[in-house]
Structures are given as structure tokens and as C-alpha cells.
Amino acid sequence: MSERAFRFRGHVVVGGELICKTGLHIGGNRDSLVIGGHDLPVARDPATRLPIVPGSSLRGRLRALLEMLRGRVRFGGGGDGADGGEPDALALLFGRPSGRGGFGPSRLLVRDALPVESEEIASGKREKSTLDWWRMLETDGLGTEVKAETAVNRVTAAATPRHVERVLAGSRFRLELVLGLYDFWPDEEKLLKDVLTSLALLEDSYLGGHGSRGYGRVEVKLHDVPAVSTAKDYESGRRKAVPGGELKGIEEIDADRWVATVAERLGGPSA
């Protein structure tokens, strides 16, 4: 594909909650381990020491699942989007290795997911936030439990114990994904469907480590009205768009309506 200029059209912000249905382990920093500490600690915010879901971990898992669905995973190596000179959804959403195509910036940005606080509950009900719930529980760490496991050598039968820290089942994290759209490729707003597809795949798979042993089952709830900020909005001084509407499951979201709404807000499909 020959090089050409392209223009920024706007951002679409998809927001909601990521709910842990089983214990979740996304590995954290082990440099500060002390005697008697956990063998495998979870990722934490260094400022608050609270468990988080790193955006890099979530984004990488969404990409891997979409690659497997689209047949982009090869034995002995990962997928990298389209094989030829034209981009596909994977190349546009997640980018490609340096020097493998000038498709502009990767379209999908995934924020770190932080624990839901009381003021972030969209339902308006007086239910406790995840932080309030964590503080009520008498667990090994705020928001986590320690699961003892034993690895057995199949040859020698030697048993090696280990202690895995997991975020508690029932914990909720604030989810935010930002989709940047350009006039580079026709109908880039249709990438929203691929984002929803990857989230649906995640629900039926797992997030983090040890998924084959029951860890990392999650549920996704999204606000059914995505937020849109156009290029004109930014030029006129508007800086923040917030998703609205009710929290709904992936299967309840009308993907075609989302695409049509975004296209209309941006002034029609991209050329």
C-alpha cells in the first residue's frame, strides 16, 4: 500500500465493569518479596497497593483471543495482523511490528482497570463498592486470598508447595477502552464489533494465569451508550466524554446500533 496522509476523526470510549467470577491471578512484581511472603503475588498499584488489572494484560489477552478466532496464530510464533499489504481488524486495533506496514497508530487503548469505588456504581443503588467489601473481609491481603498448591514431579513424585495470591471472586474493576478512529480505512467505526467480539471471547475463556485450573473467569458489563468525542469537539475545547446508560452484558449490546450511532456522530462513515 502506498503512503498517504490520514486524518483523526474522533475517540469512542467504551466503559463498564470487569467482574471476577473466580479467583484472578495476574502476576505482579516479586522484587519486594520477603520471607514468608507469597510465591506468586498479584499486580498492584504501586501508589495504593491495591490489586489492579493492568491494561497491558487485558489488551494482550483480547488480541490473543481475536488472533485465534481469525486464524492468525502460527505454531512457534504469534500473529501480527494481515499477511499482505492491506490491514485487517487485528492490524488496525493492535498494530503491527515496526516496519510491517504504515497503518498509523494502533486504534485500541486499554486503561488499567482499578477497583470500583462507591461513587462509580452506575445503578444508583446503595450497594457496597468493591473497596468497601474488601475492607470488611478478613483475608490475607486487601482484596486477595492465598491459594496453596502443590506441584508434583511425575518422575520422582517429589512435591513442591507454592502459594498463589488471587484477587477475590466477586471483585469488580472499572473497565475503560478507547477506540481512536481515522479516515485511513473505510468504516473504521465497525472495529467496535471486533472489540465486542474479543470481550465475548474473554468471558468464555479466562484472564491472567492458571486459567486451565479454574482461575480468571470474568464477566463483562458495559454501559450501553458509548461516549464519542469528535475532532471538532477537541478543537472547541471539549476534552472528556463519559459513557452512559445502563450496565448490560455483552449479549445485550446492539453492535449495529453502536456502529450507526458512532458513524452519525462522526459525520458519516470514513471514506
pLDDT band at residue 33 under the 50/70/90 scheme: very low
Question: In the prediction, which pLDDT does 254 show?
Answer: 96
* pLDDT, position 83: 53
Residue 175: its pLDDT value, please?
97
* pLDDT in the model for residue 81: 46
> Is 121 a residue whose pLDDT tops 60?
no
Residue 239 or 180, more confident: 180
Poorest-confidence range of 6-20, 26-40, 54-68, 95-109? 26-40
pLDDT tens per residue, range 187-234: 999 999 999 999 999 999 999 999 998 999 999 999 999 999 999 999
pLDDT for 163 beyond 60: yes
Closest CA to 173 of 56, 55, 52, 61: 52
**Candidate from 12-16, 54-58, 121-125, 173-177 with smallest mean pLDDT:** 121-125
pTM of this structure: 0.86
For residues 92-119, give the mean pLDDT.
83
Return the axis-axis angle of helices 55-69 and 191-203, rounded to nearest 10°: 100
Provide the residue ranges of all domains of the chain, joining segments of one domain with +.
Answer: 8-119+127-265
User: What integer pLDDT is reported at residue 57 of this predicted model?
Assistant: 97
Q: Are 164 and 149 in contact (CB under 8 A)?
A: yes
Band (40; pLDDT cuts 50, 70, 90):
confident
pLDDT at residue 159, as a whole number = 80
Summarize the confidence of residues 155-163 as an average pLDDT. Answer: 81
Three cell numbers, residue 119: 461513587
Q: Give mean pLDDT, residues 11-34.
A: 84
Among 19-33, 112-126, 155-169, 195-209, the range of highest mean pLDDT = 195-209
Query: What is the band of 105 on the pLDDT scale with cuts at 50, 70, 90?
Result: confident
What's the pLDDT at 249? 97
Residue 173, pLDDT above cutoff 90: yes
Inter-axis angle of helices 255-265 and 191-203, nearest 10: 150
Amino acid at 227: A
